[in-house]
Structure 1
Amino acid sequence: MIQRIQSLYLTLTGIIGIICGLITDFIPNERIDMILLLVVAILAFISIFCFKNRSAQKNINYLNIIINLLLIGFMVYYLLITPGGDLSPKKGVELIVPVLLIILLAMANKYINKDEKLIKSVDRFR
């Protein structure tokens, strides 16, 4: 079912991942971060279409969260080794995107678990 609330969260995750992955001025280390953001977006869209297999959908989201944590690690490492001068953009602003994506993925997993509990409770009455 594509009209579920977790599909909205996963769609937002995919759209934000694609937009931020393609804007190279926003991310500090363009190659690794761009690839990871695009992988996050692809996994979010794959997860949307795994709606019949909720355990696989949750596992894809957990993998996506781990990739976002790696992305945060790469961004923090890059921000720590670059000198901050007057010409550099504000340091640390780009870390908002992976944190936002983790929050969206956690909310999607919350609603996937709710669906799982609902279906288990309906199966008990049969």
Structure 2
Amino acid sequence: MIQRIQTIYLFSTFIFSGILVFFFDLWKTKENSVFAVDLLKSESYQLKSIPILFLVSAILACIAIFMYNNRKLQFVIGRLTILVNLILLGLLIYVSLMLPGEAAVSKKGIGMFIPIFAVLFIVLANKAIKKDEDLVKSADRLR
């Protein structure tokens, strides 16, 4: 049942975490904008982990889309995706506060809010998955 509403929510998470993160900047300095792809070239492991966590979140959302036969596992993968996005959000906040010259030079980009949108869509997807699971359980009681 891939045509359920949770598939739309999970696909939206995939779009946000896997595609849009590479088009929206994470923060801006006086010289340039910093994108997730630029962080892969940095020497710091903290900065390299940001695009990797975005891709892990997108891959988990994509896996959860195709786990429609096993709703319990789909729900657990959704929770795991929420955890990855919360770790990512905390890392982004930490890195943005520790930027050199933070007070005067940098501005936050729209890419900093992508994990928040991803968590929102995963929560909505998990709510729909739970609703489907309750519906199946109630139908089993009637047999």
User: Shift of the alpha carbon at 1:26?
Assistant: 3.0
- What's 1:4 paired with? 4
- For structure 2, the 5+ residue unaligned runs are 28-33, 40-47
Aligned to 1:70: 87
Aligned residues: 125
State percent identity of aligned pairs. 42
Partner of 1:20: 20
**Unmatched runs of 5 consecutive residues or more in structure 1:** none
Higher strand share: 2
Structure 1-normalised TM-score?
0.89
CA distance change for structure 1 residues 45 and 4 in 2, over 3 Å: closer, same or farther? same
Q: Are the equivalent residues in 2 in contact too, given 1:79–1:92 (CA < 8 A)?
A: no
Other structure's SS at 2:102 match: coil
The 3-state SS of whatever aligns with 2:129 is helix
User: After the TM superposition, which residues 77-96 of structure 1 pair with which residues of structure 2 at under 5 Å, given as runs?
Assistant: 77-82=94-99, 83-84=101-102, 87-88=105-106, 90-91=107-108, 93-96=110-113
More RCO (CA 8 Å, sep 6+): 2
- Describe the SS at the equivalent of 1:51: coil
Whether the aligned pair in 1 keeps the contact of 2:7 and 2:125 (CA below 8 Å) is yes
Residue 46 of structure 1: aligned partner: 63
Matched letter for residue 63 of structure 2: I
Q: Which of the two has higher C-alpha Rg?
A: 2
Please give the TM-score of this superposition, normalised by the length of structure 2.
Answer: 0.79
2:132 is aligned to 115
Structure 1 residue 85: deviation in Å?
Answer: 5.6
Is the CA contact (8 Å cut-off) linking 2:15 and 2:58 kept in structure 1? yes
Report runs of 4+ in structure 1 exceeding 6 Å deviation.
none
Q: CA RMSD in A?
A: 1.9
Distance 1:19 1:115 in 2: 28
Secondary structure at the counterpart of residue 3 of structure 2: coil
